[in-house]
Amino acid sequence: MIQEIRTKLEPHFSNFEKFFSDLIAENASIVQPLQATLWSHGGKQIRPMLVMMSAQLNGAISTRSYRSASLIEMLHTATLVHDDVVDNSSTRRGKPSVNAQFGNATAVLLGDYLYARALRIAIEHKDYDILKVVAGAIEEMSEGELIQSKYIANREMTEEIYFDIISKKTAMLLAACCASGAYSANASQENIDLMHQVGMNIGLVFQIKDDLLDLDLKNKALGKPTGNDIREQKLTLPLIHYLNSQPKEKADEMFDLFLKSDVDNVLLHLQKSDCLRYAELKMQECVKNVKQLLSHYQNKECIQMFDDLLEFIMNRNH
């Protein structure tokens, strides 16, 4: 389904990839030793996809759209490289991380380089409006990480705090993608704000789905990693709902299992409750919000791309 969306966006997606590659190649001597590791991590490219989908919905995809998508990809990659250092992660999407191969110091410097490169490109082209929204998103992402660290293994974690964290950590960058795409198409401020909300809700869907996949016994049976949030003592929506909805004795028992990182028993308890279904319903509420927001537009082909992307996010298994 992702490939179908990309096909609909051609030749713009291919143009973006060349544009992005050329921007990186301008300083190949600096990043060349790291480039194979950095870009081999790949990904679904949902961020540049959202920039271009939003630009097309609000007018047309342009060179400024490519630049906006490139800016976001550089900044996002920088945050991932730094996150792997903070988390001491040795892999990224199943492949060795930059810090694992080249050391923490090199990884931190590479992240800093990508931040600086992105900022310089934006300033050179006077993309101050786009820079403002993207820089704001990076600031919110950092704040979300700090808030989450405060609530690791913390029984005071609430659903409201959870949504605040994932809004900042995950959804804010996708909101910036949609807003940047609208900016690049010279949309009205009303439509830019609307697209920001579209991206925010898509980001919430993405993160809730991630949290559900981490608790999926079917994935565990297939040998896919599960229970990482439990091992890292992160309270996600299904577990928060369980602790708030069950009698005190059962809630206390669950929290004790959680603190012991007893993944198998936590998963079994959640599967027997309505908590996974509760999270799915919250995810579906966000999907409805996106559809309601997009009803403001008339371009059915573009709206269908957003619908297809949401379907992909909700039905993915990794």
How would residue 28 be classed by pLDDT, with cut points 50, 70 and 90? low
**Average pLDDT score over residue span 296-300:** 95
> Could you tell me whether strands 95-96 and 91-92 are parallel, antiparallel, or unpaired per DSSP bridges?
antiparallel
pTM of the full predicted structure? 0.92
Cβ neighbours of residue 318 under 8 Å, at least 6 residues apart?
Answer: 213, 219, 224
Average pLDDT over every residue of 37-57: 82
pLDDT of residue 197: 98
The tokens for 206 are: 């993405």
Residue identified by tokens 């537009």 is 297
Minimum mean pLDDT range among 126-135, 191-200, 231-240, 251-260: 126-135
Q: Region 119-141: what's the mean pLDDT?
A: 91
Task: Report pLDDT for 274.
Answer: 95
Q: Inform me whether the pLDDT recorded for 31 exceeds 70.
A: no
Residue where the block lists tokens 């994932």 = 166
Query: What's the Cα-to-Cα distance from 240 to each of 140, 165, 214, 304, 312, rounded to whole Å?
Result: 23, 13, 15, 34, 26
pLDDT in tens, 88-113: 777 776 777 888 887 888 888 888 88
Tell me which of 6-15, 75-84, 155-164, 271-280 is least confident: 75-84
Alpha helix ranges (H) inside the chain: 2-9, 12-25, 28-40, 46-57, 63-86, 98-102, 104-124, 128-150, 159-166, 172-184, 189-213, 217-221, 228-231, 237-245, 248-259, 263-272, 275-294, 300-315
Closest of 32, 20, 37 to residue 72, by C-alpha: 20
Q: Give me 262's structure tokens.
A: 């007893």
Above 90 in pLDDT, residue 224? Answer: no
Q: Is the pLDDT of residue 221 over 70?
A: no
Q: ∠ CA 159-292-2 to the nearest 5 degrees?
A: 85
Confidence of residue 148 (pLDDT cuts 50, 70, 90): very high
Per-residue pLDDT, 174:
97
pLDDT of residue 43: 65
Which tokens go with 35? Answer: 């480039």
Confidence of residue 41 (pLDDT cuts 50, 70, 90): low
Q: What is the pLDDT of residue 52?
A: 97
Amino acid 37: pLDDT: 60
Backbone phi, then psi, for 56, in 5-degree steps?
-65, -40
Look at residue 223 in the predicted model and tell me its pLDDT: 59
Instruction: Return the higher-pLDDT residue of 301 and 93.
Output: 301
